Amino acid sequence: MNFLNLIRWKNLVMIALVQLLIKYALLEPFGVQTSLDIFGITLLISATLCIAAAGNIINDVYDVETDFVNKPDRIIIGTFVSEKTAYNLFIIFNVIGVGIGYYVSYLVGKNAFFSLFVIISVLLYVYASYLKQTLVIGNVVISILVALSLIIVGIFELLPSITSLNRLTQLTLFKIIFDYALFAFSINLLREIAKDIEDINGDYKAGMNTLPIAIGKSRATNVLFVLSILCLLFIVYYVIDSLYKNQIAVLYFLIFVIGPLLYTCIKIFSAKSKKDFHHISNVLKLVMLFGMFSLLLYKYVLL
C-alpha cells in the first residue's frame, strides 16, 4: 500500500480513465479515423502512467523536508521506502515509460512524437527539483503537464490520420480535446495555488518561494479567488456557446461543475485555516473529475 501511495495511484487511475474516455466516449462513437487500436491505446496509457508515477516519486523525494511539517503522518520516503530505492524506482519507471513511448510513436509512424515523452519526463524532474520552489512558474508548468496528459491522446490518435477529406472532423474533435485540456489546466492551477496556501508553513521552513510566501497568504487567497471567478466565467461561457442546445449536458454542467465551482469561490472568499484550503483542494479535484466525466455526453451533443 505504501508503494501505491508513493506513485499516487488514485491520480494515475484518473489519468487512465480520462484517456480512455477521450478514446471511447469522444472519438470512437463518431467513427473518426484514429491511429491506435486497443493495444496501441493501452501502450500510450501505460507510457503516460509510468512517466507520471516517476514524477510522483521524485516529487516525494524532494518534498521530504516540507512534508515533515505539512504532512508528518503521510511521509513515505525515509520511513517505508529508502531514498535510494525511490531514486531507482524513478529511473525504472522513466525508462519503461519513455521506452514504451518510443514504440507507440513508431506504431503511428511519427517517430518525432517520441520527444514528447522525453520532454514530459525531464519537466517532471525539473519541476520537483527546482521549479516547484519558484514563484507561480512551478504551478503553471505542472498544470501544463496535466493538460498534456489529455492532449497527447489527440496527438497520437488524430494527427497521424489527418487527410484532406477528414481534416475538418479531425480538427474539430482535437479542439474539443484541447478545450478539456484547458479546463484541466485551469482547475489544476487553482488546486496548486490552494495547496501552496495550505502548505505555507512547511514551504517557508524549506526556503521555497511560492505565491503565498512571496505576497502573503491573504493576497494569495485573493488571487485564488479572482482566478476561480475567471475559471467559472469561462466554463459558463463554454456551456452557453457550445452546449446550450442539449438540456441534459447543460443540466449536468450546472449541477456537477458550475455549482461546485461556485461553492468553491464562496469558500475561498471566507477561507482562513489549513483545513479550509485542504477542503477547497478536494472540491476542485471533484470538479475536475466530474468535468472529465462529461465526455460521456458528447455523443448526444454532437450527433
- Give the model confidence (pLDDT) of 197-252 as tens digits: 999 988 888 788 899 999 999 999 999 999 999 999 999 999 998 877 788 889 99
Residue where the block lists cell 456537477: 256
pLDDT given for residue 302 in this prediction: 59
Q: Which of 269, 6, 52 is nearest to 146 (CA)?
A: 52
Say if residue 11's pLDDT is above 90: yes
Q: Residue 79: enclosing H or E segment and its boundaries?
A: none
pLDDT given for residue 63 in this prediction: 81
- Give the model confidence (pLDDT) of 13-28 as tens digits: 999 999 999 999 999 8
Q: Long-range contacts for 120-123 (Cβ within 8 Å, ≥24 apart)?
A: 120/51, 120/145, 120/148, 121/51, 121/54, 121/55, 121/94, 121/97
Q: Long-range contacts for 212-219 (Cβ within 8 Å, ≥24 apart)?
A: 214/135
Say if residue 254's pLDDT is above 80: yes
Residue range 184-188: mean pLDDT, rounded: 97
Distance CA 47, CA 120 (A): 11
pLDDT band per the 50, 70, 90 thresholds, residue 126: very high
Write the single-letter amino acid at 112: A
pTM: 0.94
Say if residue 68's pLDDT is above 80: no
pLDDT band per the 50, 70, 90 thresholds, residue 64: confident
Q: What percent of the chain has pLDDT over 90?
A: 72
